[in-house]
Structure 1
C-alpha cells in the first residue's frame, strides 16, 4: 500500500474516545420504532412494507453500540438489509430507512482506519447492489451518492475537529505546566540563594560571634522549610527543555495592580487577610488566574459598569472572586482561558468555577485554594 493508504489503514480509533451512550441515544431508539410503524401503515404502495418495518425496528438497537463498535453495527445492518432485499426483490422504500446514515456517520466519526475504509467499501457495495435490484433514475443515483458522501465527509470533519481541539487543550495544559515550572524555578532559586548567603555569613562569624551564627542557622532553617513546601506544591510539574527564559513572577499582592488598568469597566480590587501567608508559587498562580478572569470579563461582559476582584486569605486557604455586573448569561462554552485557569487551580489542589453570578446579574469566576493543597 502507498504511504497515505497505509497511514489510514493503521489509524487508531478517534481520540478522545467517545462516550458509550448519552441520553440522545435513548431518545432516538425510543422514537424510531413508532415512526417506522406509522410510515408502514400509511404507505400502502410500498412493497413488503411490513416486512421492512419489522427489519428496520429490529435493527434500531444497533444505534446503541454505534460508537464503540461502529463497523460491526454497520456491517450487521448492511448484511440484514441486503439479505431481506434479495428475498423481497428490491430495496426498502420507507423514508425511515435513512437512520442507517447515522451508522455511516459513526464509522467515520469514531471508527479506526480499518473501520473507515471498510465502512466506505460497504457504502459502495450497497450502492451497486441497489442498482441490481432496481432501475433508479440518474437523479436518484446521484442524489444517493451525494447524501452518502456528505454523511461520510461530516463524520471525518467532526472527527478532525475534535482531534484538533484535544491537541490544543493539551498544548494549553503544557503551557500552564511550563509556567508553573518557571514559578518553581524562581521561588526555589530565591530561597536557595538566601540559604547560600546565610551559610557563608554564618561560617564567617562562627568563631567570633556565635549568636550571629545561630541566627544565620535559624534563617537557613526557615528558608529550607519554605523551599520544601514550594517543591511539594509543584511536584509533578514538567517543563520542556526549550521553554522560554525564566523571569520574575508576580505574587498575590500584585493583584492590586489590576485596579490600575485603563479601560472599561473600572476594576475594584480588595485583598483581605495576610497576603504574605500565601506561598509565592500559589500567589503567582492566583495572580494569573485573576488576570485571565479580568481579561475575559472585559472581553465578553455586556453592558458591565464595574468589575470587582475580591481576595480573602485565612487559615483555611485563599479565595478569589472576580465578578462583573454585565448582562446575565445562561452559559458559556469552555474556552482555553477557562481551561487554563482550572488547570492551574487543580495543580495546586484547588478548584476554579465560572458561571452566572449568584444574584443573576453578570458573571462570576471563583477560585478556592485550600491551604492543605499548598504543600501536598
Structure 2
C-alpha cells in the first residue's frame, strides 16, 4: 500500500470519543419512520413504495449505534438496501433514504481508518449494484457520487476541527501545569528552604545560645506566614471562575523593588544592585527577574559550600535587561538541570531570552539571564 493509504489504514478512531447517544438520536428515530410512510402515501408512482417504507423504518434504529459502531451500522443499512433493491428490481426512489447519509457522515466523523476504507468499499459496491437493475444516467451517477463525497468531506472536516481543538486544549493545559509548577517551586520552595536553613541553625545554636534559637524560630514563623499567603494567592487565582475578583484579595506581583527582600534570612549575605530605571520594566519582565533571582539566591544558600556572599546585579539598557547572580562558594562541577534551573530557563524563554547557570571563573556559581527588549515588546 502507498504511504497515504497506509496512514489512513492505521488511523485510530476519532478523539475525543463520541457520545453514545444524545437527544437528537431519539428525535431522528421517532421522526424518520412516519416520514417514510407519509412519503409512500403521497407518491403512488414509486414501485414497491410500502415495502420500501417498511425497510427504511426497520433500518432507522441503526442511527442509535452509528457513533460507536459506524462501519457495522453502515454495512447493515447498505447491505439490506442493496439486497432488497435486487429483489424488487428497482432503485429505492423514496427521498427518505437520504438518512443513509447520516450513517456515512458518522463513519468519517468517528470511525477508524480501517472502518473508513471498508465503508468506502461498501458504498462503492452499493452504487455498482444499483447500476445493475437501473439504466445508468450519467447525471444521476455524478450527482450521487458528489453527494457521497461532500458528506464524507464534511465528516472529515469536523473530525479534524474537533481533533485540533482537543490538541489545543491539551497544549493549554500543559502550559498551565508548567506555569503552576514554576510558581509553586519558586514561591514555596524558596520559603521552605529558608525555613530548613533556619531550623538547622536553631538546632545548632540552641544548646549554647537559646536567644539565637528563639530568633531562628521567629524567622521560621515569618517565612511560614509568607508561604501561606503566597499559597492562598495562588489558590485564589486558580479557583477564579471568571467573576471579578477584588484586587485586595490577590498578592501583588513581585518585581525588581522586591529584590531587596532577598537579603533577609540566614546564610551568606546578599548584596543587590540595580542599574537603570526599574519602573520602566513591564510587570511580566519584572516578575521574571525576581523569580529567577529568587531561585538563584535560594540555590546559593542551599548548595554553595563555604559561600559568604551572593551578588545580585540587574542592568537595564536600550537592548534589554541582564541579571547576574554569583556566589563566592567553592567551585562546583556542572550539574544536570533540576526543576529550579529548568523553571528559570523556561521563564526566560517565555520572554524571548535565555538563562544559563554554571561554575563561575575563579570559583563559585553564576546564573545569568538575558531578556532582550524585543522579547517583551513584540
Equivalent residue for 2:231, pick from 271, 281, 285: 281
Secondary structure at 2:177's aligned position in 1?
Answer: helix
In 2, Cα distance between the equivalents of 1:312 and 1:60? 60
- Per the alignment, residue 368 of structure 2 pairs with none
* Alpha-carbon distance, 1:135 to partner: 1.4
- Given that residues 180 and 285 in structure 1 are in contact (C-alpha distance below 8 angstroms), is that contact kept between their aligned partners in structure 2? no
Is the CA contact (8 Å cut-off) linking 1:195 and 1:220 kept in structure 2?
yes
Query: Is 1:45 matched with 2:45?
Result: yes
> 2: CA distance between counterparts of 1:43 and 1:182?
70
Aligned to 1:80: 80
**2-structure distance, mates of 1:84, 1:133:** 11
RMSD of Structure 2 on Structure 1 (CA): 2.7
Matching of residues 199-210 of structure 1 within 5 Å: 199=199, 201-202=201-202, 205-206=205-206, 208-210=208-210
Q: Which moved more, 1:81-90 or 1:199-208?
A: 199-208
CA contact (8 A) 2:106 2:155 kept: yes
Q: Tell me the equivalent position of 1:28.
A: 28
Larger Rg: 2
Q: Is the 8 A contact 2:33 2:60 kept in 1?
A: yes
In the alignment, is the contact (CA less than 8 A) between 2:71 and 2:107 conserved in 1? yes
1:310 is aligned to 2:246: yes
Question: Is the contact between residue 205 and residue 212 of structure 1 (CA under 8 Å) also seen in structure 2?
Answer: yes
Report the counterpart of residue 336 of structure 2 in structure 1: none
Of 36-45 and 1-10, more deviation after overlay is shown by: 1-10
Per the alignment, do residues 72 and 82 of structure 1 end up closer, same or farther by CA in structure 2, a change over 3 Å counting? same
Query: Counterparts of 1:309 and 1:203 in 2: how far apart (Å)?
Result: 43
Q: Which has the higher contact order (CA 8 A, sep 6+)?
A: 1
Cα distance in 2 between the residues matched to 1:113 and 1:193: 54
How many angstroms does 1:119 deviate by?
0.9
TM-score, length-scaled by structure 2: 0.61
Deviations 1:96-130 (A, max 9, x none): 11000000001101111111111111111111111
Task: Say if 2:187 and 2:227, in contact at 8 Å, map to a contact too.
Answer: no
SS in structure 1 opposite 2:246? strand
Q: Is the alpha carbon distance of 1:149 and 1:221 closer, same or farther for their aligned partners in structure 2, counting shifts above 3 Å?
A: same
- Residues 1:89 and 2:89 aligned together: yes
Task: Quote the offset at 1:215 in angstroms.
Answer: 3.8
C-alpha distance in 1, partners of 2:119/2:57?
22
Measured in 1, the distance between the counterparts of 2:200 and 2:54 equals: 89
Q: How many residues align?
A: 250
Q: How far, CA to CA, are the matches of 2:245 and 2:232 in structure 1? A: 17
Give the secondary structure class of the aligned counterpart of 1:67: coil
The C-alpha deviation readout for 1:205-253, integer Å capped at 9, x for no partner, is 4455212214414644775x77xxxxxxxxxxxxxxxxxxxxxxxxxxx
- Which residue of 1 is the match for residue 363 of structure 2? none
Deviation at 1:186, TM superposition (A): 1.1
Partner of 1:5, secondary structure, is helix
Q: Distance in 2 between matches of 1:176 and 1:140?
A: 54
Describe how 1:1-376 pairs up with structure 2 within 5 A.
Answer: 1-199=1-199, 201-202=201-202, 205-206=205-206, 208-217=208-217, 219-220=219-220, 223=223, 279-287=229-237, 293=242, 309-310=245-246
How far does residue 201 in structure 1 lie from its aligned partner after superposition? Answer: 4.6
Using a 3 Å threshold, how does the CA distance of structure 1 residues 203 and 289 change in structure 2: closer, same or farther?
Answer: closer
Matched-pair contact (CA < 8 Å) for 1:183–1:281: no
Contact 2:85 2:91 in 1 (8 A): yes
Does the 8 Å CA contact 1:16/1:166 hold for their aligned counterparts? Answer: yes
CA shift for structure 1 position 279: 3.8
Query: CA shift at 1:195, angstroms?
Result: 2.1
Q: Could you say what secondary structure the match of 2:20 adopts? A: coil
Q: TM-score, normalised by structure 1?
A: 0.61
Shift of 1:187: 1.7
Aligned to 2:325: none
CA distance in 1, matches of 2:233, 2:11: 44
Unaligned runs of 5+ in 2: 251-378
Question: Which string of whole-angstrom CA distances, capped at 9 and with x for unpartnered residues, describes residues 132-154 of structure 1?
Answer: 11114221111101000000011
Unaligned runs of 5+ in 1: 227-275, 295-307, 319-376
In 1: Cα distance, 2:167 partner to 2:91 partner: 43
- Provide the C-alpha distance between the structure 1 equivalents of 2:68 and 2:204, rounded to a whole number of angstroms: 71
